[in-house]
Amino acid sequence: MPKIQYRKLGNSDIKVTTLALGTWAFGADRWWGEQRDLDSQNTLYRAIELGINFIDTAPIYGNGHSEAVIGEALKKEKLREKVILATKAGLRWKASSPEESFYNLKKQSILEEVDDSLRRLQTEVIDLYQAHFPDPSTPIGETAQALYKLYQKGKIRAIGVSNFSVGQMREFMKFSALHSLQPRYSMFRREIESEILPFCIENNIAVLAYSPLDNAVLTGKFFFGQKIPQDKVRSINYDLEGENFRINKEAAIKLKAVASKYKKSLAQLALNWVVARRGLTCAIVGARRPAQIEENTGAAGWEIAKEDMENIESILGEREERIKKPLV
């Protein structure tokens, strides 16, 4: 298998692989549906064997279950020192109704969450701790100062935010160091390119792209015969709805032709494209089984030629002009 590159996590002293393992599915919740813990553990082990060192999770993934599965797996095989663990705070579930979540980035809540995550992950330090979503009810300064205190105490090694705007990051940086941003980004979701990505480049903030395959849309499998799963994630993805499905299928066929020139799959092309973008640090790719990790690592170790990059840009530009996005 190709060797995966390392990149610095912003201005921290941490180096992460350009492909990361996303573990939302490990939570085995309503969002991604049923998942066996043994499959999750074997997927984690295979990722490490293939050279991936960056593991991303969150407490909300299965109400702590994803973190617990990872913590137990790493302890059992004594693998903690081989990985960079990233988790999050600020998206909590109600004890009375675990399927209901709410934002809470208040200082006291963060202090509770970090200790819970350390316990479930069975570790003494979290490598990257991220505010999961902005919390409209909490001043950003309160959140930033709470995270910075954890950083100063050594409970966390780096500070990140996820789904924050430029304005929110600017406010955050008045009170704390900021090492990374985790935004949604893929060939089909490029909104960060206008303001967010230039800001992160200018301020040396690592950009960790989640959903780089657009919830498996960019694997192409839904366009070529595989039934779309009836899970919560796919039910709210507008790229799989109505006329958008046909538009995206046409684009996928053209992109698949580009991938075939390199003897690669559409998914491998899409991941390679993401990590090749200026300012991108890594692509966080979810996986349920070892075979999916093996497929994903085929995105590493090769480059898309300039003329093919231009062709891809043309394909994506045409798609963008036609796609119907929901009104915000």
CB atoms within 10 A of CB 130: 27
- pLDDT of amino acid 327: 67
- For residue 322, give the amino acid letter: R
Closest CA to 11 of 231, 179, 189, 203: 179
Kindly list the catalytic residues. 61
Helices (H) and strands (E) in the chain, counts: 11, 12
Q: Which tens digits make up the pLDDT trace of 128-179?
A: 999 999 999 999 999 999 999 999 999 999 999 999 999 999 999 999 999 9
pLDDT value at 232 more than 70: no
Q: State which H helix or E strand residue 197 sits in.
A: helix 196-202
**CA 67 to each of CA 1, 26, 238, 313: distance values in angstroms, whole numbers, following the listed order:** 28, 8, 29, 38
**CA 216 to each of CA 16, 185, 230: distance values in angstroms, whole numbers, following the listed order:** 23, 13, 13
pLDDT value at 1 more than 70: no
Q: Which CATH number fits domain 6-216+270-303: 3.30.950.10, 3.20.20.100, 3.40.50.300, 3.40.50.2030?
A: 3.20.20.100
How wide is the angle at C-alpha 48 spanned by C-alphas 302 and 13, nearest 5°? 80
Q: Following DSSP, what letter does each residue of 211-255 receive, concatenated?
A: -TTTTTGGG-TTTTTPPPP-SHHHHT-GGGSHHHHHHHHHHHHHH
- For residue 171, give the amino acid letter: E
Residue with tokens 């709470």: 146
Closest CA to 190 of 215, 212, 160, 167: 212
- pLDDT of amino acid 228: 78
- pLDDT of amino acid 231: 66
- pLDDT of amino acid 255: 98
The CA distance from 155 to 153, in Å, is 6
- CB-based contact 138:170 (threshold 8 Å): no
The CA distance from 7 to 16, in Å, is 5
pLDDT value at 284 more than 90: yes
What does the pLDDT average to over 294-305? 97
Query: What beta strand segments (E) does the chain contain?
Result: 6-8, 15-17, 19-22, 54-56, 84-89, 91-94, 97-103, 128-131, 159-162, 180-182, 206-210, 280-286
Highest mean pLDDT pick, 57-66, 87-96, 219-228: 57-66
pLDDT band at 100 (very low <50, low <70, confident <90, very high): confident
Query: What beta strand segments (E) does 52-168 contain?
Result: 54-56, 84-89, 91-94, 97-103, 128-131, 159-162
What does the pLDDT average to over 290-313? 97
Per-position b or e across 304-322, b if 16+ CB within 10 A of its CB: beeebeebbeebbeebeee
